[in-house]
Amino acid sequence: MGPSARVIPPMSARAFEPVPTPSFPATPWDGVLIALVALGAVLALGLTLWH
* Helix, strand, coil fractions of the chain, as percent rounded to 5: 65, 0, 35
pLDDT, position 50: 79
Q: How is residue 33 annotated by DSSP?
A: H
Please, which pLDDT band fits residue 34 given cuts at 50, 70 and 90?
confident
Q: Are 32 and 23 in contact (CB under 8 A)?
A: no
Say if 32 falls within a structural domain.
yes
Taking the mean position of all CA atoms in its chain, how far away is CA 2?
33
pTM attached to this predicted model: 0.42
Say if 3 falls within a structural domain.
no
Say if 9 falls within a structural domain.
no
What confidence tens digit (pLDDT) does each residue in 9-32 have? 555 555 555 555 555 556 677 778
Q: How many domains does the chain have?
A: 1
